[in-house]
Amino acid sequence: MNRTIFVPVLVTLFVIGSILRLLSGYTLLNSNLTYAAGKKEKLPGTRRPEDAARTFYMLIDRGEYERAWEISLEPDWSDGRPVGYREELFSGQKWNGLVTSREVFVDRLTTEIGKDGWGITLNNIKAERVERLDGSEHTSQFGNEVPEETYRVLVRGQMVGACSIFRWEKQLIVISSPEGYRVFLNGTKEENSFFYQSWFSGIEPISHLR
């Protein structure tokens, strides 16, 4: 077929196929296999548990660690002492009431991820409310200040590495507060790992960047 005829025919077939795909209820591109930086998405806020969880990860991605600290609550199981990368930190039987300070939280993430979040790239972050929990089940973590509302929220997203896109998910506890909902972090870490790595689970590669 002549090239001058082939190209217009190919474009026409693509357009027709795209229209049929859209009419059938499918998207043109599979978002699970696609990454596009695009412009910054507006933060959902903290009025709903799922919004707070999604906002938390978006702030981490942007490197806005102070704002992430403001909508989270992390017990300090180390009694205020520094915890090294090689050390494993477990939660105690009952929360001692100490929380990770703003300064420690920001300094820690700046070291682990980098200033302005340059060391991590998150995309397609989705969150859904799984169930409402009985706050009394978590008194060992919350101490005497049991929140009025406690929820389990499932967060899913993508993490872009040097050459690949990874899928991840995490079930979080989200609690109510006078200022809105807050993400309750475990404040624990495994041996030879960073604290922020405990905020991701089920990581698996789904595509390679070309």
> Per-residue pLDDT tens for 141-151?
666 567 889 99
Question: Is the pLDDT assigned to residue 10 strictly greater than 50?
Answer: no
- The highest-level CATH class for domain 34-208 is alpha beta
Residues 6+ apart with CB under 8 A from 103: none
- Rounded to an integer, the average pLDDT of 127-132 is 96
Map residue 199 onto helix, strand or coil: helix
Q: Are 189 and 89 in contact (CB under 8 A)?
A: yes
d(CA 141, CA 135): 10
Residues 6+ apart with CB under 8 A from 9: 1
What is the reported pLDDT for 4?
46
What is the reported pLDDT for 138?
60
Question: Is the pLDDT assigned to residue 92 strictly greater than 80?
Answer: no
Question: Is the pLDDT assigned to residue 18 strictly greater than 90?
Answer: no
d(CA 153, CA 138): 15
pLDDT-based confidence at 198, cuts 50/70/90? very high
